[in-house]
Amino acid sequence: MEFKDKVAIITGAARGIGEATAWAFAERGATVVIVDINGEGASKVVADIKVKGYNAMAFAVDVSDKKAVDAMVEDVFEKYGRIDILVNNAYISGGYALVTETSQETWNKVIAVNLTGYFNCAQAVARKMIPQRSGKIVNISSGAGINGSLSSGVQYPASKAGIIGLTKGLAGDLAPFGINVNCITPGLIRTWTPEEMAEQATGWTLEKVKRYIEVEVPLKRVGEPEDIAETVVFLSSDASSYIVGEVINVDGGGMLDSVAKRESLLGF
Ligand SMILES: NC(=O)c1ccc[n+]([C@@H]2O[C@H](COP(=O)([O-])OP(=O)(O)OC[C@H]3O[C@@H](n4cnc5c(N)ncnc54)[C@H](O)[C@@H]3O)[C@@H](O)[C@H]2O)c1
């Protein structure tokens, strides 16, 4: 198998895109390290993966806590003697508020988890990957980092744009050591139901959510976590060994102008 004997750390993998990514690597023979602030959820994913006969271990870690991240990376390295892949994925959104109503606390917390958390993990694994002269780091950003977001305030797109810049900086730093760093900007991915989104995002109704999906995504479907997981696998494989510092939209065409947008805005 392509990832046999490889060790992959995936943050925010107790659910959603991170969990799907952990399964994608485990099924291809990698040992997966599930890192999440939700320790119970992380242990449950590890138990499910192990039942299928694959290798996994869990860490209850807040990625914004540098000391905890360093200790986790040391533990993984001590146990397996190598770290081949890091998928930076853990996040919080901070919810929606007009910028004038956004608290300093919300801003600081979102930047701490979404941006500093990615830096903490990348720095700690880079210290192990550089002597190996090999490694792959995939940062999960968001289309919100390019176009802003209708459902979260300014803090979330700002953090996600920062991840794109972090990717560029890391990629230039680490490429000379044989380490590929790249970024994925997902569009709408089914880690929530339209009902949940209507409930949680201020001003949205179920009808508006459904209409939004129809107009926003030319493929006319919400993406599955596996759509992102498979792109992460590609960016962590030998098939992408000459790709460095790239940002790949995986969004069903969500950034394009489309027939649906023309119909919705102009009526023809
Ligand atoms: N789902 C989408 O539509 C979508 C769209 C664009 C981008 N993304 C990006 O994809 C990634 C995953 O999104 P998702 O929808 O799977 O999220 P999710 O909410 O399903 O899972 C996020 C995970 O991160 C964990 N987490 C939160 N704070 C943490 C911390 N401080 N330390 C460690 N773990 C922490 C949570 O416990 C949770 O398990 C995120 O980076 C997000 O920005 C998602």
Is there a catalytic annotation at residue 156?
yes
Ligand 1 geometric centre to CA of 89 (Å) = 6
Lowest-confidence pick of 15-24, 157-166, 238-247, 257-266: 257-266
Average pLDDT for residues 188-210, to the nearest whole number?
86
Atom index in ligand 1 nearest the CA of residue 42 equals: 39
- Which amino acid makes up residue 103? S
- Which H helix or E strand runs over 105? helix 104-111
Instruction: With beta carbons less than 8 A apart as the criterion, state whether 12 and 19 touch.
Output: no
DSSP 116: I
- Closest residue by Cα to atom 25, ligand 1, is 12
Average pLDDT for residues 73-95, to the nearest whole number?
98
Whether the predicted pLDDT of 47 surpasses 90:
yes
SS3 90: coil
* Burial (0-12, 13-18, 19+ Cβ within 10 Å), 49: buried
Ligand 1 geometric centre to CA of 253 (Å) = 21
DSSP 181-218: EEEEEE-SBSSS-HHHHHHHSTT--HHHHHHHHHHH-T
Residue that is written with structure tokens 């069903």 in the block: 252
The catalytic position among 54, 91, 156, 242 is 156
Whole-angstrom distance, CA of residue 112 vs CA of residue 214: 34
Whether the predicted pLDDT of 1 surpasses 80:
no
Give the binding-site residues of ligand 1, using a 6 Å CB cut-off: 11-12, 14-18, 36-38, 41, 62-64, 89-92, 113, 117, 140, 142, 186, 188-189, 191
pLDDT score of 119: 99
pLDDT score of 90: 99
| CATH 3.40.50.720 applies to domain 7-191+223-252 | yes
- Which H helix or E strand runs over 226? helix 225-235
Residue that is written with structure tokens 């700002």 in the block: 158
Whole-angstrom distance, CA of residue 94 vs CA of residue 153: 7
Q: Probe ligand 1: pick from 111, 191, 232, 255, max atoms within 8 Å of CB? A: 191
pTM over 0.95: yes
